[in-house]
Structure 1
Amino acid sequence: MWGRLGPGVLASLVLSGLIVLVPNSAAGFGTIEGGGQNREHERITRAAVACPAGAGSDGDCFEPRSVDQLAGHGKGFGAVGAPDLTEISNPAAHCDDADFLVGRYPQTRAEASAKLLDCVNHLRRRFREAIDSAKDLLDDEGQIIGAEVNLGTDCALANTEQRAKCESLEGFGRALHGAQDFYSHSNWADVADPSRPIGADNPPGLNLPAPSPVLDLRGSGAPTVPRDLTTGCFVIRDSVPGVGACERRVTHAALNKDNGLVDQSTGATTSPTTPRGEVASNFAKAVAGAMVETRHQWQDFRAALETSYGAQKGSLMACALTRDDPLNDCRGRSRAAAVLAISGVLIGVLGVGILLFQARRRRHLNVTNRSPLPP
């Protein structure tokens, strides 16, 4: 049985077993179906950037096969789930361990902000990897390469993929994973339980909107961090109160809003299952924030493509990433751009010709006017 399973399915099953054994995984929003998770990452991503049924992409949304690769489908994790395959124990991939409370606390504000910057810089590297991989979508003449965008088979993950579309989507999906986890693992968008005192088991909520300026993935500097912003400390034995390295600290178990049901078409939420997620509308706010952030990051990604490669190539790359049949569907865009470029040159040449003609005509008239009158 095991020998017949593909590597993606096998990895999914193995990780499913691990998550059942460690139910409060730091993986953030769920990636699998089971173990308390409901494929929250996939459903958030689809609700945010999947094209409506039957609609083609205008660049703002991903068509069915393309969104399958980004969000995941069936037993496949997709690009957004990739960190739960290869980076599940890396706090920077999930924005963990940037915990802080005002007052006497085991970690200072500066130390917590440094941990948060580790997360932001990690996501920036993934974002940049996706931009860099996109250059291989086009040949030297700026045309889409068929083999680089073919989705006849699903994208492989974890550095085993060769197709440029898959590599670019994986980098972007890994960046999205951490950006979405930020809303689940932090108090950016949530509120505290008003029936209990503020403390490590009930940190304050900031109740702030998305997108968050903290997640400036195109930037390079340290973001401004609100004084009361916190994420959760995570160890394998994730609990409230914290134990081991998380003793006397805000824990992932106390703060996360990872699990519940998400409608993959609308993003509507029901049935939150974590303590913080059950407070007020915290789970709904985390999901809504993650969706807004996902759309924002895609718009920033498109802008970064145009900044890096020029408007024409950047637009064509975005088309290749979002369309299922970019060789045919993006060809018109490429031709249109070429026609516009040629038209611009012709108009320029015509304009110069007209100016030269007018200049010569004026000189001729001036010479005629200066000629002496006949006797």
Structure 2
Amino acid sequence: MSDSYARFLGHSGAALAALLCCWASDASAADQPDNVYSTYGVHNPPADSPCANPDCAYVREPGQPTDPQYPAYWSSNWNMYRVFNGYVQNPPPYDGAPPPALKPGRDYEISKGATYYDSTWRGPAGEGAMMEHYDKRCLPIFPISNHYTCSFISLGDTAFFVTYEKDRPKGMPPVCLFSPSNHPPRTDFISHLPYSSGDSERLGNRVQGYSFWVAADTGKPIQVGVSPDRTKDRAIMFGYAFMSKATPDRVDKSAKPYRHAQSFYFSGYPLPPANAPMVSQNYTNFAMVRPDPKTTWDLVSKLDPKTLPQCQLFNPPAEMVGLAATPRAPTWGDIKHR
């Protein structure tokens, strides 16, 4: 665990709860469908998404590789590349950093974070626990600046969004309810993404790439594979890559070799202030390390979701958008339910 991350974990669940005194939510259950997002079977039931297939699953064709799976639990740091120039000619997946034709600072920004995953977790809200922690640069899929530290924590079906005192944006609560139906990916989640031979071949088939573009107005999948780029068509992309070769775990030497997760690549919010048309999170030390609840889930495990304010990340108040805002681009929050 990085020192910077450890510093941000100085908040206990009780302290966060105390900070929420002025942010009690008056949202009713009738408001909840607005924060149940289309995730195409990855984070919630197929009925919540306009998938290509009724069960949001893809049958692999002859000649395509078998599906890799997550280990039951794991931890990993990663580098996040927010690519704002040259992404059309240099699409992901990336072998570490973007290709040499793209330069840091000029074409992309690098930030860091970590993911903690445990499919064996069980609680009142369901099964599975996951925390994605973004250090100094939050997930750039919202129409606001991402220059702050944040964490997404899913416990069963309940997903929380956490910000930190050091750099919390004005008007944003310490914790809000991101979604009442957004569980961690299951270990076999990749079955919900189409295999892309183009994505895989981009890295010499050292990886198995899976991705699709969806039309923001209908939510329907319109293309398999990252290339050609569809950002100008107002489409949204979601992709994931695993290593093609099974290798031993870095920590658990007794575990059977498996195909490690390589990267998570996706469309961010393409316009200012986020300016993130293409994003890739590349894992750096993926390993079967069971997360410590004290530094992950316990940040929110004692909170009652019914008392939390609803997050306004996809439709933020004017004070969060700022003067640099341009005409709005579509977001994942705009995709309509089936």
Category of TM-score, reference length = shorter chain: under 0.3
Please identify the structure whose Cα radius of gyration is greater.
Answer: 1
Highest RCO, 1 vs 2 (Cα 8 Å, sep ≥ 6): 2
More helix by share: 1
